Amino acid sequence: MKKSKRRAETAAVRGESDFEKKNGPVVPEIYQTSTFQVTDNEEQIRITTTDRYYTRWGNPTITLAEQTVAALEGTDAALVFASGMGAITTTILSLLRTGDHIVAQRDLYGGVAKFFADWLPKLGIEATFVETTEYDQHVRAIRPNTKMLYLESPTNPALRVVDMKKTAAIAKQHGLISMIDSTFGTPINQHPAEYGFDLVMHSGTKYLSGHADLTCGVASGRSDLIEQIGETRKTLGNCMDPHAAFLLIRGMKTLAVRVAQHNENALRVAEFLERHEKVRRVHYPFLKSHPQYAIARDQMSGGSGMVTFEVEGTGDDARRVSEAMKLFTLATSLGGVESLVSIPVLTSHAMISAELREKMGVNEQMVRLSVGIESVDDLIEDLERALEVIGSRVSAPVGSRS
């Protein structure tokens, strides 16, 4: 895959635009139209392969959003979708057939885990879940009919970090399509394509847009795969609205500066929580206590804005803490400029079985924070007040996960 011609900060603002001086709008136009006029039927035939035929097939505003994503990720091409799950499901339905097999890590966003466990078997596609950081298991799970290695890093909500160099090499050695959800990492903190990943996914709803005002998904990667996925997107109709694409473009312009502040604030919050007596455990890649700290520091430039912690107490205590926060808004989703708090067993992983959650290590004591770009001192004060709702320290064994 090609590397980005420009640094991420520039690519986020300027995309693939040229720097030639010309008369035109500084802000890109919104082609808020479902269809495009032609002068005759010969032209109608010619434009069917362009982005000026019918918006379900393409649209100039959507094209600009896709070019910006590809520039950020340093990939051949990209596609945008109506949602993150739309990007993931459309991609997998494009590339796999009945009788195919996927090797997937166990730590996944709940919606993806449900799609793999409940929906793909209806189509005759099977998925084997393996321990996220046990790479020997990845290899042993590969079968003659395995077509894809599906990963997520950092993971939701436990923030495990996958060794991208090692996993991309496994996929290449066995002729598998390698696909990674990089939503938590962002194109600012990590670049999976540089390690050899074929496809990089994002819920663009999160950090890419950054303002909690649109829903979208992104697939970026090899041109041959993107072309195949694009044909399926036309058929399924999972396209993005032009105005939403404009908002995505606008959001990405500030991606680099936002992520830098998310990183800084989240590390401070994680360090505070790690010292707090009413917190059993903190999950954050840039804490030295994190089991994949060395890998995270090697392949990420920042630890992301996500922090998950486990209260020293019960599930009820975790709920009470989340409800006691004022500056952290109790809401699902993540990645916006405002700080959010949620309980994973009630939100991101509510749609999967308790048994599968247990295997993932997702427990009732977990509180997930999306640390925004407000004053970090105010955020810490909010957390300190909220943690006071837990009574005296509860005596409980400290669990450990690798």
Amino acid at 279: V
- In the set 109, 150, 207, 284, the catalytic residue is 109
Tokens 């700290």, residue located: 293
- Are 85 and 78 in contact by the 8 Å Cβ rule? The answer is no
Q: What are the backbone dihedrals phi and psi of residue 237, each rounded to the nearest 5 degrees, phi first? A: 75, 20
Gap between the Cα atoms of 332 and 369, Å rounded = 10
Residues in the chain: 402
- In the set 6, 14, 56, 297, the catalytic residue is 56
How many CB atoms are closer than 10 A to CB 302?
A: 20
- In the set 163, 181, 198, 317, the catalytic residue is 181
359 labelled catalytic = no
Sign of CA dihedral 269, 289, 356, 335: positive
6 labelled catalytic = no
54 labelled catalytic = no
- In the set 52, 106, 160, 206, the catalytic residue is 206
Gap between the Cα atoms of 87 and 221, Å rounded = 13
- Are 300 and 195 in contact by the 8 Å Cβ rule? The answer is no
- Nearest-5° Cα angle at 186, 182 to 189: 110
Q: Which two tokens stand for residue 148?
A: 């894809």
241 labelled catalytic = no
Active site residues: 56, 109, 181, 206
